[in-house]
Chains A and B, each alone.
Chain A
Amino acid sequence: GEDVEQSLFLSVREGDSSVINCTYTDSSSTYLYWYKQEPGAGLQLLTYIFSNMDMKQDQRLTVLLNKKDKHLSLRIADTQTGDSAIYFCAEFPPTNSNSGYALNFGKGTSLLVTP
């Protein structure tokens, strides 16, 4: 399928906010997800947003969705060294899609948090 686009790398200082951006492919996508992958580990579901929402906040995480521009962002407040990981954006296809239930992932953004 088409590519979900993410910047490959982001470096922030501990305590600062991180903003990870994603451009997805289909404005009709129903759910957008953020997964976290720590080194050598699996994919941990961080949060998700339904397509009829503009924003979702969950503790230090804020997800913003701009459907018109097909743009999704993940903001991590007060970033900690333990937040260093790869963050994947993924879209769940629309109901009229031939893609069924296959999540379409971006290549991931490597977040490095420095002390």
Chain B
Amino acid sequence: EPEVTQTPSHQVTQMGQEVILRCVPISNHLYFYWYRQILGQKVEFLVSFYNNEISEKSEIFDDQFSVERPDGSNFTLKIRSTKLEDSAMYFCASSPGTSGRYQETQYFGPGTRLLVL
């Protein structure tokens, strides 16, 4: 069964450094998403991406964050200058986008655990 994959599974970085989290969505899906989960808290929406542009973003997704689909398979989240509070599990998700807005079930990857020191 097709699945969303993410790399790396864990990333440790120093405060102020840039990180790039990578995702390979399910191949025929058209919508891509990033969510994050700070330890012990709810899963929070960051951004959705469709047709090579951001379709929606939350207030968490500030200028430090950017997303890109550099080729036909990868979807990346970049954090330019990481802060301690960016430490979280980051989930990528994708959905088909072929049946209109309904039945937009989102399939999640295993996540990347980011630790900022």
For A41, the chain B residues whose CB sits under 8 A away are 110-111
For B56, the chain A residues whose CB sits under 8 A away are 99-102
Interface residues on A, range: 20 to 34
Q: Which of B99-117 contact A (CB under 8 A)?
A: 101-111
For B58, the chain A residues whose CB sits under 8 A away are 102
Interface residues on B, range: 20 to 34
Q: Does B51 belong to the interface (CB within 8 Å)?
A: no
User: Quick check: B104 and A101 within 8 Å, CB to CB?
Assistant: yes
Summed over the interface, the residue pairs from A and B with CB atoms below 8 Å come to a total of 63
| With known contacts A30-B102, A45-B105, A48-B105, A103–B110 Cβ distance under 8 A | no
Q: Which 3 A-B pairs have the closest CB atoms?
A: A42-B110, A100-B56, A102-B45
Interface residues of B (CB under 8 A from A): 6, 31, 33, 35, 41-45, 48, 55-56, 58, 91, 95, 101-111
Given contact pairs A42-B91, A101-B31, A102-B48, enumerate 13 new A-B contacts (beta carbons under 8 Å).
A4-B42, A30-B101, A31-B105, A42-B108, A42-B111, A43-B111, A45-B106, A92-B104, A100-B55, A101-B33, A101-B106, A105-B42, A107-B42
